[in-house]
Chains A and B, each alone.
Chain A
Amino acid sequence: MRTLIFRTIAPYLTSLMVLFSIFVLLRGHNEPGGGFIGGLIAASAFAIYGIACGVSPVRRSLYFHPMAISGCGLLVAAVSGLVSIFMEMPFLTGQWGVINLLGMPVDISTVLFFDIGVYLVVVGSITSIALALEERERA
C-alpha cells in the first residue's frame, strides 16, 4: 500500500478532505451536507492518512485521542440544547442570532453547534475504530 506516490500525496489529500468536510458541515443546513456526512469525510481522510503513513503520525497530528474528540462532540451537542432552556423553551429548540463578521451578516445558531457536535462525534468514533484496526495490522 505504501507506495511513494501514495505516501507523498496522502498529507495533501487528507488536508483537502478535512477542509472539504468542514465546508460540507457548514453548508449542511441549506445544501446537501451536514455534520454526519462531514464527519464521515473527515474520518475517511484520517483513515487514508493512516494507511499511507502509519498510525502514529495521525495520532500526533490529531493531538487529542479521537475518543476524546468524540466525547467533546457529544458534550457540545448536548450543551447547545441547553441554551433554549434558559430562554424558557423546551430542550433543543433552535436559537438564532446574526453577527457582523467583517461587514458581512452571518447567521449563527445553536443548531449549528449541534451539527458541529454531531460532526465531532462521528469523526472521533470512526477514526478511533479505523486507527485501532490499522495499528493492529502492523502489530
Chain B
Amino acid sequence: MEADGHWLTFLVLMLPFAGAAIAPVLVRFSGHNAAWLLALIPAFMFYHFTGFLGPVADGETVVAGYSWIPSLDVDFSWYIDGLSLTFALLISGIGALIVLYAGGYLKGHAHLGRFFSFILMFMGAMQGLVLADGFLTLFVFWELTSITSFLLIGFDHAREASRRAALQALIVTGLGGLSLLAGLLLIWNMTGLGSMSALLEAESALREAPLYLAALLLVLGGAFTKSAQFPFHFWLPNAMEAPTPVSAYLHSATMVKAGVYLVMRLNPVMGDTVAWETILPIFGGTTLIVGTLLAVRQTDLKLMLAYTTVASLGLLVMLTGFGSEKAAEAAVLYLVAHSMFKGALFMVAGGIDHEAGTRDITRLGGIGRAMPITFAAAVLAAISMGGLPPFFGFLAKEEIYAGLWQGGGWSGLMTLVAIVGNALMFAIGFAVALKPFTGPEVETPKHAHEGPVLLWLGPLVLGVAGLLTALASTLSHRFITNPMASAVVGEPVEVYISVVPHVGLPLALSVITIVLGVLAYLMLARGREAMAATLKAIGWGPDQGFDQAVRGSVRFSSVVTGIVQNGRLDYYMTATFVALALALFVPMILFGELPAVPAFPDLRFYEWIVLAIAFIGLGAVLYARDRLTAIVSLGIQGFAVALLFMLLGAPDLSFTQFMVETLSVVILALVMTRLRLSQADHRPTGEKAVDITIAAACGAALGLMLLRVTQVPFDDTLSVFFAEYSRAIAHGRNIVNVIIVDFRGLDTLGEIAVVMIAGLAILALVRIRAGKPIAAPKGEG
C-alpha cells in the first residue's frame, strides 16, 4: 500500500500518544496551565481533519496505510469518509475543549499530569478506532479504548467504587471486544476481505455469506457492550465514578459511541436483512425506554445524564437498524446533536459540583445568579436536548419522526417508543439545566460563584455550536450530515431539514412530545418516587447480576483449583504419566497404527556391548538398594544410549545427551539430598505395583510409537533442503547448529527465554524452602 503524502495523517494518529508521553513533564513545569498547551494537540488534529471536509463532501474517500504483517496480508491502514471524518472531528474538537476543562476541573490535583496522559491516550485510541480500515487495526484500537477507559474510570484508584466501576467497564467492554474480534475474523474468513473499505466495496458479499447470522451476532456483541445497550447498560452509569471531564468525554464523543459507529459503519454491508432490522430496533428501543426510566429515578446530576446517554445510544441503534433512509439520516443528525449537548451538560454538571460542592439535584437551587455563564450554557444545551428550535437537536428530532413514521411494519410502535423516550429526555435535560439554577436559593456545601474560564469555556462553545450548526444548516448538511449519512446508508443521500418548521405529521408529533415533556418535567419528583418504588419491587438488576457472576466464577475456580491442584506431587506425576500413556496408546490402537514386528537387528558386536551396558544400567536401577544408587545407575543407561547415538552417526545429539545425563544425575542427586528422603524406598507393594504399571505402559507406548514412526516412509524434503542450503545461506557445515541459530533463530530465542524464566522460577521455589517462611499476606494469617 502506498502512503506517500499520507504521513501527516499517520503523524496525527500518533500525536495523542506522543502528547501522553510529555504531559506529565509539562504539568510539572506549568501546573494546570499545561492544559492550554496540551489542547493544541487535539486542536491540531481538528485542523488537520477539516482539510478533508471539502473533498469528502464531494464524494471522495481516502484509503491509506502501511504494510504491517505482509505475510498475513495485514495492513495498518485508515479510511476517511463522511462517517469517520465526522467522528474524528467530534473526537478532536470536543477533545480540545475537554482538555481545557480538565485543566480547570482538576486544578491542583496531585496527579493532573497522569490524568492528561490517560485522556490523551484515550483520545488517540478512539481516533484510531474510527479511522481504522484494516480489521486488526480496528480491533487493536477498540481494545485500547477499553484499556485506557479502565485507567480513566479508575483514576481515583484509592476509592473502592472507582476500582469496581473500572473493572466492570473493562470486563464488559473487553469481553465484547473479543466477541468483535471473533466476528471480524469470521467475516475475514468468509469473504476473504480484511478491511472495511474492501468490505464496503463488495456490498452484498457479506449478507449472502453462509455464516452471516453468526458474524452479525458476534459483531453486535462488541457493539452492544461498548455502546451500553440493554442488558449491558449497567457499566456506563457506574463509570460515573470517573472525574467529570472523563464522563463528559466518554459520553459525548467517544467510548460509548464506538458501538454506534460500528453499527453505522456496517449498515451498508450488514443491514437490510430481517435479522438486522429486528435485533437492532428491539434492543435499541428497549434501551431507550429503560434508560429514560432509570434516569427519572436518579437525583445525582451526572447519573441523570448518564442514563439519558444510555437512552440516546438506544435511540441511535434503533434508528440505524430501522432500515429506512430517513431514519439513518435522523441517526446521523441525532448523533451530532447529542455529542454537542451531552458534552456541554456534563461539563455544566461538573462545574456545579466544583463550585457548589454537590451534584444532588434535590440539594441545589437558585445558583443561576451566581453562575450566569454556566447557566446560559446549560440552557443552550438543554434546548438542543429537548429538541426545540432553532437548535440542532430540533433538526434531529424532526428527522426522527419523519423517518420513523414513513418506515415499514414497526413504524407505529417505534414512533411511540421514540415519543416517550424523547419526552422523558426533554424533562431530564431541563431538570439538569433549570432546577439547580432557578427557584429559591438553597444552602449548598460551598458558596457558589462563577468558575474560572477553563470551566465554562467548553460548555459555552458546545452550546453555541448547537445553535450555529442549526442556523447554518445548509453548510452543516453539505459538509457533515450528507457525507456521513451517505456513508451510513451506503449511497449518496441528501438531508434537507432546516430550522423552519414544516407543517405536517412530524411537527404534530413534536408538539405532542413537548407537551408530554413539560408534563413529565413538572411531575419529575413524583415520577422519581414511583420509579424508586418499582425498582425496589423488582429488586434485582444486571448490575447485581454482574457481581453475582464475578463471585460465582471466583468460587467455581477455587473449587476447580481444589480438585486439580491439591498440592500433592505424586498425584500430579501420576496424572501426567497416565495421560501420556493414554495419549500414546489409545490413538495407536483406535486407528490400527500399531507397528509391524521389526526384523531381528543386525548389529556389530560393539553395538551389542553398548546395548548390553544400557540394559545392565536399567537392571541396576531396578535392583538398587537406595535411591542414590538408582539415580547413578540411571546415568549409566543414559550414557549408553548417548554412546549409541554417537556410533549411529548423530554426534551432536550424543554430545547433548551426555551433558544432559550428567547434569540430571547431579541435579537429581542434589534434589534428593535436599528433600531428605529416606535412603531406601519403603512404600507398600500395592503402590509400587501401580507405579511400575504406569512406568511400563509409558515406556512401551513410547517405544511402540518410535518403532511405528521409523516404519513410515522417510520424507527427506527438509534434510535435503538443509543439507543444500546450510553452507550456502548460513555459512555453516553443522546442520543441527545452523538450524538452531539461523534457520529457526526465533524459536531458539523463545526457548532460551523459557529456559531463563524456568531458572528464575526454580530459584524462587528453592529460596522459599531454604529461607524462613514468607510472611503471609495481610488478612490471611
The answer to whether A and B belong to the same complex is: yes
Interface residues of A (CB under 8 A from B): 24, 28-37, 40-41, 43-44, 47-48, 51, 67, 70-71, 73-74, 77-78, 81, 91-92, 94, 96, 107, 109, 111, 114-115, 117-118, 121-122, 124-126, 128-130, 132-137, 139
A33 adjacent to B662 (CB under 8 Å): no
Bound complex: CA A112 to CA B706 (Å): 34
Residue B555 lies at the interface, judged by CB distance under 8 Å to chain A: no
B770 adjacent to A139 (CB under 8 Å): yes
Bound complex: CA A114 to CA B749 (Å): 9
B667 adjacent to A29 (CB under 8 Å): no
Q: Name the residue of chain B whose CB is nearest to the CB of A139.
A: B770
Binds A, one of B341-349, B363-371, B738-746: B738-746
B752 adjacent to A133 (CB under 8 Å): no
- Which A residues touch B741, using CB under 8 A? 28-29, 34-35, 111, 114-115, 118
B730 adjacent to A94 (CB under 8 Å): yes
Q: Which of A29, A81, A91, A133 contacts B731 (CB 8 A)?
A: A29
Q: Which of A28, A47, A51, A121 contacts B752 (CB 8 A)?
A: A121
Q: Name the residue of chain A whose CB is nearest to the CB of B770.
A: A136
Q: Name the residue of chain B whose CB is nearest to the CB of A114.
A: B741
Q: What is the distance, in angstroms, from B66's C-beta to the closest C-beta of chain A?
A: 15
Residue B659 lies at the interface, judged by CB distance under 8 Å to chain A: yes
Q: Which of B666, B671, B737 contacts A47 (CB 8 A)?
A: B666
B663 adjacent to A43 (CB under 8 Å): yes
Mark interface residues in B726-768 (1 if CB within 8 Å of A CB, else 0): 0000111110111011100110110011011011101100110
- Which B residues touch A40, using CB under 8 A? 656, 659-660, 662-663
Q: What is the distance, in angstroms, from A36's C-beta to the closest C-beta of chain B?
A: 7
Bound complex: CA A37 to CA B670 (Å): 21
Number of A-B contacts (CB under 8 A): 147
Q: Which of B655, B752, B759, B769 contacts A129 (CB 8 A)?
A: B759
B670-697 residues with Cβ-Cβ distance < 8 A to A are 670-671, 673-674
Residue B60 lies at the interface, judged by CB distance under 8 Å to chain A: no
5 CB-based A-B contacts, threshold 8 Å: A28-B741, A32-B734, A33-B655, A77-B748, A133-B766
Residue B501 lies at the interface, judged by CB distance under 8 Å to chain A: no
Q: What is the distance, in angstroms, from B643's C-beta to the closest C-beta of chain A?
A: 14
- Which A residues touch B663, using CB under 8 A? 40, 43-44, 47, 126, 130
B666 adjacent to A31 (CB under 8 Å): no
A130 adjacent to B763 (CB under 8 Å): no
A36 adjacent to B769 (CB under 8 Å): no
B770 adjacent to A132 (CB under 8 Å): yes
Q: Given A29-B734, A37-B652, A94-B742, 6 more contacts at CB 8 Å?
A: A32-B736, A109-B731, A111-B742, A133-B766, A135-B770, A136-B766
Q: Do A92 and B749 form a contact, CB below 8 Å, given A133-B667, A133-B766?
A: yes
Bound complex: CA A29 to CA B656 (Å): 15
Instruction: Give the number of chain B interface residues (Cβ < 8 Å).
Output: 42
Residue B651 lies at the interface, judged by CB distance under 8 Å to chain A: yes
Most chain A CB atoms below 10 A, which of B652, B667, B673, B759? B759
- Which A residues touch B656, using CB under 8 A? 36-37, 40
Bound complex: CA A30 to CA B734 (Å): 4
Bound complex: CA A43 to CA B663 (Å): 8
A74 adjacent to B752 (CB under 8 Å): yes
B745 adjacent to A81 (CB under 8 Å): yes
- Which B residues touch A129, using CB under 8 A? 667, 759, 762-763, 766
- Which A residues touch B662, using CB under 8 A? 40, 44
Q: Name the residue of chain B whose CB is nearest to the CB of A112.
A: B741
- Which B residues touch A43, using CB under 8 A? 663
B738 adjacent to A29 (CB under 8 Å): yes
Q: Which of A29, A48, A117, A130 contacts B670 (CB 8 A)?
A: A130
Q: Which of A30, A51, A132 contacts B766 (CB 8 A)?
A: A132
Closest 3 CB pairs of A and B: A125-B759, A40-B659, A29-B732
A124 adjacent to B759 (CB under 8 Å): yes
- Which A residues touch B759, using CB under 8 A? 67, 70, 124-126, 128-129
Q: What is the distance, in angstroms, from B695's C-beta to the closest C-beta of chain A?
A: 25
Q: What is the distance, in angstroms, from A94's C-beta to the closest C-beta of chain B?
A: 5
B673 adjacent to A114 (CB under 8 Å): no
- Which A residues touch B736, using CB under 8 A? 32, 34
- Which B residues touch A130, using CB under 8 A? 663, 666-667, 670
Q: What is the distance, in angstroms, from B647's C-beta to the closest C-beta of chain A?
A: 14
Bound complex: CA A89 to CA B138 (Å): 28
Q: What is the distance, in angstroms, from A1's C-beta to the closest C-beta of chain B?
A: 10
Bound complex: CA A120 to CA B659 (Å): 16
Bound complex: CA A111 to CA B742 (Å): 7
A121 adjacent to B745 (CB under 8 Å): no
Q: Name the residue of chain B whose CB is nearest to the CB of A134.
A: B670
B752 adjacent to A92 (CB under 8 Å): no
A28 adjacent to B734 (CB under 8 Å): yes
Q: What is the distance, in angstroms, from B425's C-beta to the closest C-beta of chain A?
A: 55
B749 adjacent to A71 (CB under 8 Å): no
Bound complex: CA A67 to CA B763 (Å): 9
Q: Do A31 and B770 form a contact, CB below 8 Å, given A44-B662, A77-B749?
A: no
Bound complex: CA A86 to CA B656 (Å): 35
Mark interface residues in B339-361 (1 if CB within 8 Å of A CB, else 0): 00000000000000000000000
A74 adjacent to B670 (CB under 8 Å): no
A122 adjacent to B734 (CB under 8 Å): no
B769 adjacent to A136 (CB under 8 Å): yes
Mark interface residues in B268-304 (1 if CB within 8 Å of A CB, else 0): 0000000000000000000000000000000000000
- Which A residues touch B756, using CB under 8 A? 67, 70-71, 73-74, 121, 124-125
- Which A residues touch B674, using CB under 8 A? 133, 136-137
A30 adjacent to B732 (CB under 8 Å): yes
A132 adjacent to B767 (CB under 8 Å): yes
Q: Do A132 and B763 form a contact, CB below 8 Å, given A33-B655, A34-B737?
A: yes
- Which B residues touch A34, using CB under 8 A? 652, 734, 736-737, 740-741
Q: Name the residue of chain A whose CB is nearest to the CB of B651.
A: A32
Bound complex: CA A72 to CA B575 (Å): 37
A111 adjacent to B730 (CB under 8 Å): yes
Bound complex: CA A35 to CA B763 (Å): 22
Q: What is the distance, in angstroms, from B447's C-beta to the closest C-beta of chain A?
A: 60
Bound complex: CA A1 to CA B673 (Å): 13
- Which B residues touch A96, using CB under 8 A? 731
Q: What is the distance, in angstroms, from B632's C-beta to the closest C-beta of chain A?
A: 13
Q: What is the distance, in angstroms, from A23's C-beta to the closest C-beta of chain B?
A: 13
A77 adjacent to B752 (CB under 8 Å): yes
A122 adjacent to B752 (CB under 8 Å): yes
Q: Do A36 and B740 form a contact, CB below 8 Å, given A118-B748, A122-B755?
A: yes
B620-663 residues with Cβ-Cβ distance < 8 A to A are 651-652, 655-656, 659-660, 662-663
Bound complex: CA A55 to CA B90 (Å): 66
Q: Do A91 and B733 form a contact, CB below 8 Å, given A35-B741, A126-B663?
A: no
A31 adjacent to B758 (CB under 8 Å): no
Q: Name the residue of chain A whose CB is nearest to the CB of B740.
A: A34
- Which A residues touch B745, using CB under 8 A? 81, 92, 94, 111, 114
A128 adjacent to B763 (CB under 8 Å): yes
Bound complex: CA A74 to CA B756 (Å): 8
Bound complex: CA A100 to CA B598 (Å): 56
